Amino acid sequence: MKNLKILISPASFKGSLSNMEACAIMKKSVLKIFPHAGITEFPLADGGEGTINVITKITGEKLKYSDVKDPLMRKRRAAWIKIGETAFIEMAQAAGLILLKEREKNPLRTTTYGVGELLEKAVLSGCTRIFLGVGGSATSDAGIGALTALGLKFYRKDGNLIHPGSGKDLVEISRIDASCLMPEMLRCGITILSDVENPLYGRNGAAFVYGPQKGADEETVKLLDRGLRNFALKMEAFSGRHVASLPGAGAAGGIAAGLASFLKVKVVSGIETIMEMGKFEKHLKAADIVLTGEGRIDSQTCSGKSLGKVFALAEKHGVPVIAFAGSIDKTMYKKNLKNVVLAGILPGPMSLEKAMKTAKENLYNSTCRVLNSYRASACLS
């Protein structure tokens, strides 16, 4: 009997396991059940937390570290990658929700200033092309914090300078001065990795859709939305660029719209870009089975998200998939997911807190259990 070729490719289990941790746990389970299996590891990333770790795995490049400010302007060390004249930056390293405690989440106060510092580090090191992953942000400042770090100046009606720039300041922007914008940034191309297509403002915009998960209550959401509208009007009048309806303008609190108002910016699919970089489809075609997973599988999974891309490619090439999740929406069992088996990792009913704490154990045990069943049903050893 031939040894199985297994592709292990999970996304992160938000709040409990990173994509790299989930990958390592699945690998341990595979080696227990199929000790002689040929294993390929390809953690999934779409521009959010864990993206640069996947890129280091794909390219073999080492991480660089720079001192920047976090979302609350505290000093921290942020990782990024430089390959020749190309930089890979993960927004979550400087402005991620993961950097904040629950009580600190407040998009009126958080800033992308540290993201601007990372962009500055990259261009001053000689980079002329930057890939910026924008998932998992704690901010809704339309990128004015990052632009401030790059030399732009925003002023209130009373003439006072806005610094460093956060969500609460958007509604107060009255005047903009770009005379001190870093000239190196004007020569640099920025490719934003995002799988979000929301506009900048409105009911489907940055504040209403993503504000609550960043700590915004109903009134805060309305204030942020007014601020994003004001920002769009002021930016369009100043730069002549209409970016509010740019596909993905509402991603990460509107940073794409802010950067695109002055710089050479394009928005592309994060998951598709990472998959192409690592030749994911080639690895999938060569596999006998794919193991994947994330925190929750629901109706959004097949709408451009990472696992949805895996499902589509698996169906295209006829490769079976086992997808693990902390929770699975019951409607998913009614979908015609060809070649896909859905597997919940919880051993029984439990609180969300306990599920988070026991995620490693639950993922390991459930992967072993499902693979044992797979081996028995396929008469493999």
Average pLDDT over residues 14-18: 88
For residue 45, give both structure tokens.
């990333």
pTM: 0.92
Q: What is the per-residue pLDDT across 199-235, written as a single tens digit (0 to 9) for each?
A: 999 999 999 999 999 999 999 999 999 999 999 999 9
Domains detected in the chain: 5-42+279-378 (3.40.50.10350), 51-271 (3.90.1510.10)
**346 pLDDT higher than 50:** yes
pLDDT, position 302: 79
- Residue pLDDT, tens place only, 278-290: 999 999 999 999 9
pLDDT tens, residue by residue, 42-64:
999 999 889 999 999 999 999 99
For residue 2, pLDDT beyond 80: no
Per mean pLDDT, which range of 169-178, 259-268, 343-352, 361-370 is the poorest? 343-352
pLDDT number for residue 71: 98
pLDDT at 380 over 60: no
Per-residue pLDDT reduced to its tens digit, 107-159: 999 999 999 999 999 999 999 999 999 989 999 999 999 999 999 999 999 99
Question: Which is it for strands 64-69 and 75-83: parallel, antiparallel or unpaired?
Answer: antiparallel
Q: Write down the pLDDT at residue 379.
A: 57
- Which 3-state string (H, E, C) describes the chain? CCCCEEEECCCCECCCECHHHHHHHHHHHHHHHCCCCEEEECCCCCCCCCHHHHHHHHHCCCCEEEEEECCCCCEEEEEEEEECCEEEEECHHHHEHHHCCHHHCCCCCCCCHHHHHHHHHHHHCCCCEEEEECCCECCCCCCHHHHHHCCCEEECCCCCEECCCCHHHHHHCCEEECCCCCHHHHCCEEEEECCCCCCCCCCCCHHHHHCHHHCCCHHHHHHHHHHHHHHHHHHHHHHCCCCCCCCCCCHHHHHHHHHHCCCEEEEECHHHHHHHHCCHHHHHHHCCEEEEEEEEECCCCCCCCHHHHHHHHHHHHCCCEEEEEEEECHHHHHCCCCCEEEEECCCCCCCHHHHHHCHHHHHHHHHHHHHHHHHHHHCCC
% of residues, the chain, pLDDT over 90: 84
Q: Which tokens sit at 52?
A: 């640069």
| Share above pLDDT 70 across residues of the chain, in percent, rounded to a whole number | 98
